[in-house]
């Protein structure tokens, strides 16, 4: 018999790893459900406008005959298009250039790349602020990197506990990275720029602040992207994705904006040709004037449905406080028990009945810090929003008796 023993052969931190629980683990896309659980853009990508009658009008020309060739390893055109989008001069007169950009397979590759770039296994740690995106912790565990958790202040608006974070950066050993989401997930709230600057100007901490801006295209005009700010701060990284505002979750493209020095490190540790040619073609088209016009109209439509949902939810018995979502394409609401208290048992029952009896899939978030009794609902199309509102009112009445 072979001497192989998985339990002693594999790395101990991998053996104890719990995989990231994604939105489709409980209820699959079987073609009949209304999926309001994964914060996808219900209006889809800015590729094929309604009524397009030609290949040129419908979207980018992808050279299928060229797929036997490796893709462009540098993607300068795509990087420049991303810079053009984020060079707003709202934070600095300086310009982002392709040297400020590193591309990855979704933001998840970028999250992992930062850990591999800066953190020594079994020695260094990262700081996260729950409630937040779960992949920061999963990637840290995979890389055998420790976690320091400083919860967000739940009110008002889930903001950084600046004194606690500064204290940790001063006194906790070997913290290399701070991962922040703005707008947050599941909070849907943008973080204060002043608070972020207080971390960037810490007088003794030698580390990098990472802002995950996956939902920034849904934020208010008062919470614009900080991407161009990386030209002012060498210890700032801003991560973005085309999965949310651009409705391109299926192409898995993420971008890091940072100093040229950090971007070079990240690009150096990537696998060769990491961005496929079809991905680059679709993304470049989406970032063109025509694509941006469609994207912005889709975002406007979603924001209208978000306002519709907020007004309607206020009138439904059993719906509690809106805890977050005013800068995102989802809303975080409390579900109340008969006594009028936010309650996980009630929220879980509503979640399960919505999916199993009404065909509407949302996300239960009650186990997250500060989210007792909460469901996270992705904003959908007008039809999807109407179906959800009708279903949640009936379901709450059933659950609460």
Q: What is the pLDDT of residue 55?
A: 43
String of DSSP letters for 256-275: EE--HHHHHHHHHHSPTT-S
Ordered alpha helix ranges (H), 119-259: 135-142, 162-171, 193-200
pLDDT per residue rounded down to tens, the chain (401 residues):
555 465 765 567 656 756 555 554 565 556 667 777 767 777 777 775 544 444 444 456 666 667 778 888 899 999 999 999 999 999 999 999 999 999 999 889 999 989 988 888 999 999 999 999 999 999 999 999 999 999 999 867 899 999 999 999 999 999 999 999 999 999 999 999 999 999 999 999 999 999 999 999 999 887 899 999 999 999 999 999 999 999 999 999 999 999 999 998 888 888 888 899 999 999 999 999 999 999 999 999 999 999 999 999 999 999 999 998 889 999 999 999 999 999 999 999 999 999 999 999 999 999 999 999 999 999 999 999 999 999 999 999 999 87
Radius of gyration in angstroms for the set of CA atoms belonging to the chain, rounded to a whole number: 22
**8 A C-beta contact, residue 152 and residue 202:** no
Torsion of CA 242, 96, 271, 144, to 10 degrees: -80
Quick one: 144 exposed, middle or buried, by C-beta within 10 A (0-12, 13-18, 19+)?
middle
For residue 56 the two structure tokens come to 């040129």
Q: What is the pLDDT of residue 271?
A: 84
Query: Residue 338: which residues within 8 A CB-CB, separation 6 or more?
Result: 400, 401
Q: What is the pLDDT of residue 52?
A: 44
C-alpha to C-alpha distance for 58 and 122, rounded to whole angstroms: 50
Q: What is the pLDDT of residue 13?
A: 62
Helix (H) or strand (E) holding 383: helix 382-400
Query: Residue 62: which residues within 8 A CB-CB, separation 6 or more?
Result: 277, 278, 281, 282
Query: What are the structural domains, with CATH classification, of the chain?
Result: 12-41+292-400 (3.90.1150.10), 69-287 (3.40.640.10)
Q: What is the pLDDT of residue 228?
A: 97
C-alpha to C-alpha distance for 287 and 284, rounded to whole angstroms: 5
C-alpha to C-alpha distance for 265 and 121, rounded to whole angstroms: 18
For residue 135 the two structure tokens come to 């992949």
Q: What is the pLDDT of residue 48?
A: 59
Q: What is the pLDDT of residue 36?
A: 72
Tell me how crowded residue 315 is: count the other CB atoms within 10 A of its CB: 9
String of DSSP letters for 311-359: HHHTTSTTEEEEEE-TTSSEEEEEEB-TTS-B-HHHHHHHHHHHHHHH-
Give the predicted TM-score (pTM) of the model.
Answer: 0.87
Q: What is the pLDDT of residue 296?
A: 95
Q: What is the pLDDT of residue 72?
A: 87
């Amino acid at each position: 018999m072979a001497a192989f023993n998985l339990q002693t052969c594999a790395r101990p931190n991998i053996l104890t790893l719990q995989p990231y629980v994604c939105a489709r683990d409980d209820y699959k896309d079987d073609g009949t459900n209304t999926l309001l659980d994964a914060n996808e853009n219900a209006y889809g990508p800015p590729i094929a406008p309604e009524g397009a009658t030609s290949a040129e009008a419908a979207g980018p020309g992808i050279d299928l005959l060229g797929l036997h060739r490796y893709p462009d390893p540098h993607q300068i055109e795509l990087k420049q298009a991303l810079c053009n989008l984020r060079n707003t001069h709202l934070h600095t007169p300086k310009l982002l250039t392709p040297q400020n950009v590193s591309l990855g397979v979704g933001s998840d590759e970028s999250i992992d790349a930062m850990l591999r770039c800066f953190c020594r296994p079994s020695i260094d740690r990262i700081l996260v602020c729950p409630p937040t995106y779960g992949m920061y912790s999963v990637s840290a565990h995979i890389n055998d990197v420790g976690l320091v958790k400083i919860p967000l202040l739940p009110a008002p608006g889930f903001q950084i506990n600046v004194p606690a974070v500064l204290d940790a950066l001063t006194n906790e050993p070997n913290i290399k990275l701070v991962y922040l989401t703005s707008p947050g997930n599941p909070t849907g709230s943008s973080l204060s720029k002043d608070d972020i600057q207080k971390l960037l100007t810490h007088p003794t901490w030698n580390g990098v602040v990472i802002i995950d801006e996956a939902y920034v295209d849904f934020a208010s005009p008062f919470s614009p992207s900080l991407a161009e700010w990386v030209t002012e701060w060498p210890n700032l990284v801003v991560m973005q994705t085309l999965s949310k505002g651009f409705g391109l979750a299926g192409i898995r493209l993420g971008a890091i904006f940072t100093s040229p020095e950090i971007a070079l490190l990240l690009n150096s540790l990537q696998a060769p040709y990491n961005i496929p040619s079809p991905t680059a073609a679709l993304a470049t088209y989406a970032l063109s004037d025509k694509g941006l016009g469609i994207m912005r109209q889709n975002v406007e439509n979603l924001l209208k449905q978000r306002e519709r949902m907020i007004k309607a939810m206020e009138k439904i018995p059993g719906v509690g406080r809106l805890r977050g979502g005013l800068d995102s394409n989802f809303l975080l609401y409390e579900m109340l028990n008969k006594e009028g208290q936010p309650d996980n048992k009630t929220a879980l029952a509503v979640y399960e009945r919505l999916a199993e009896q009404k065909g509407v899939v949302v996300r239960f978030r009650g186990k997250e810090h500060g989210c007792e009794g909460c469901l996270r609902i992705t904003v959908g199309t007008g039809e999807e929003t109407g179906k959800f509102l009708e279903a949640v009112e009936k379901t709450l009445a059933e659950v609460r008796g």
